Amino acid sequence: MRVISAILSYLVCLGWMMAAHAGDRMMPPQCFSAQELAAVAGEKSVRRGDRSFDGVQLSREIVPIKPIAADRRGAIRRVDMPNGEKLIALTLDLCEQTGEVAGYDGAIFDYLRREGVKATIFVGGKWMRSHQMRATQLVLDPLFELANHSDTHRNLRLLDTKALRSQILGPQHTFAALRFAAAARQCVMSHDDQEARDAPGQMTLFRFPFGACNQPALDAVNDAGLLAIQWDVSTGDPAPTQSASAIARAMISRVRPGSIIIAHANGRGWNTAAALPIAIPKLKAMGYRFVTVSELLRIGTPVISKTCYDFKPGDADRYDFMFSAKKTFNQPVTARSKAVRRVKPVKRT
């Protein structure tokens, strides 16, 4: 019986790796128990001032991706669906800046797994490094598509070429390392799967921190082979005053076929976990089906903007001033007084 059990286990794991390599993944068996996947009390909290992961590195070499073709360059806000097919994409941001350890809202993922709802998860490189086990669970879960949300969630409009490239490619290297390690886990790997072991895969979508970009940043992302994904339905969930019912209303009232919804699962979506069980059943009752962003793009035609914004063009420009002011007021008083006089109002585009 033990021999038969071992053979069956081997065949199941081998089948998963073959499916993974073909791009049609199944959930790997016995990688994580239900208890290991479940939300943990206190895990959602953001630990401000915690610098324990600021210098942590996790990287694996990647093969450069072909730059994005001209007809898909720019900021994708939503996708036009053929015949108005009622497909939509829920996206969740898992970002983390230096000087903090962001949270993981396990209640969100518990609900999505329980209901079988697909989502695209925009992960920061640093978030993956500080939450390696949770990131691995997401990598191995076929419900979820992982995408790039920069390395440490900086305003990419303000960075020089070197820093910009680091913010874009850092998460690609971290994801490759996690994917490689995930493929090598006992539950999914066999000695005959060297090809799968050496092909960890890459993320192909990118979301700008704060939804803020400019032409150099857009060009850098597209030149790296990544599609820039914005949204057309904003839940407003980072605001503590945005209740679960308000988040649900925003999703239900603003959605249309091909919509991309943005929410947060890093402890800064204050009431998102309570909102999804309100909104998702109602959206399903309206005839909508949840797919990943990549699935939307394979079916429909992307609606592309020349710039990035939340509700209207120019509304993300304020982050230029906010971060310039933050940098200024960290300077000594003598230097600060001179720098303040040099701050100019943000020009709206």
Q: Tens of pLDDT along 226-279?
A: 999 999 999 999 999 999 999 999 999 999 999 999 999 999 999 999 999 999
Indicate the pairing of strand 100-101 with strand 47-48: antiparallel
Domain ranges of the chain: 63-311, 317-349
* Cα 265 from Cα 282, distance rounded (Å): 21
**Which residue, among 92, 44, 27, 141, has the nearest Cα to 261 in the 3D structure?**
92
Determine the average pLDDT of the residues in 83-95: 97
What integer pLDDT is reported at residue 316 of this predicted model?
93
What integer pLDDT is reported at residue 324 of this predicted model?
57
Other beta carbons within 10 Å of 80: 14
What integer pLDDT is reported at residue 335 of this predicted model?
35
Residue that is written with structure tokens 């300077």 in the block: 331
Amino acid type, 124? G
Query: pLDDT band at residue 280, thresholds of 50, 70 and 90?
Result: very high
CB 77 within 8 A of CB 83: no
- Angle subtended at Cα 165 by Cα 159 and Cα 167, rounded to the nearest 5 degrees: 75
Strands, DSSP E only, in 201-273?
205-206, 227-229, 233-234, 260-264
Burial class (CB in 10 A: 0-12, 13-18, 19+), 251: buried
DSSP element (H, E) containing 40? none
Determine the average pLDDT of the residues in 180-202: 63
Q: Tens of pLDDT along 94-121?
A: 999 999 999 999 999 999 999 999 999 9
169 Cβ contact partners less than 8 Å away, ≥ 6 residues apart: 62, 224
Decide: helix, strand or coil at residue 15. helix
Helix axes 161-183, 215-223, angle to 10 degrees: 30
Per-residue DSSP letters for 137-174?
Answer: HHHH-TTEEEEE--SS---GGG--HHHHHHHHHHHHHH
Amino acid type, 154? R
* Cα 95 from Cα 151, distance rounded (Å): 8
Percent of the chain with pLDDT over 90: 77
What integer pLDDT is reported at residue 24 of this predicted model?
45
CB 98 within 8 A of CB 38: no
Half-sphere exposure of 98 (CA within 13 A, CB side): 7
H runs (alpha helix) in 75-204: 106-115, 125-130, 132-140, 161-183, 194-197
For residue 275, give both structure tokens: 């909102």
- 63-311 carries CATH number 3.20.20.370: yes
What integer pLDDT is reported at residue 187 of this predicted model?
78
Query: Which has the higher per-residue pLDDT, 306 or 334?
Result: 306
Lowest mean pLDDT among 12-26, 89-103, 190-204: 12-26
Query: Which has the higher per-residue pLDDT, 203 or 326?
Result: 203
pLDDT of 5 > 60? The answer is: no
Amino acid type, 76? I
What integer pLDDT is reported at residue 321 of this predicted model?
83
pLDDT of 2 > 60? The answer is: no
CB 170 within 8 A of CB 202: no
- What b/e string do you get for 289-299 counting C-beta neighbours within 10 Å, with b at 16 or more? ebbbbbbbbee
pLDDT of 3 > 60? The answer is: no
Q: CA dist 260 to 79, 145, 167, 230, 234, Å?
A: 8, 14, 23, 8, 9
| DSSP 8-state code for residue 28 | P
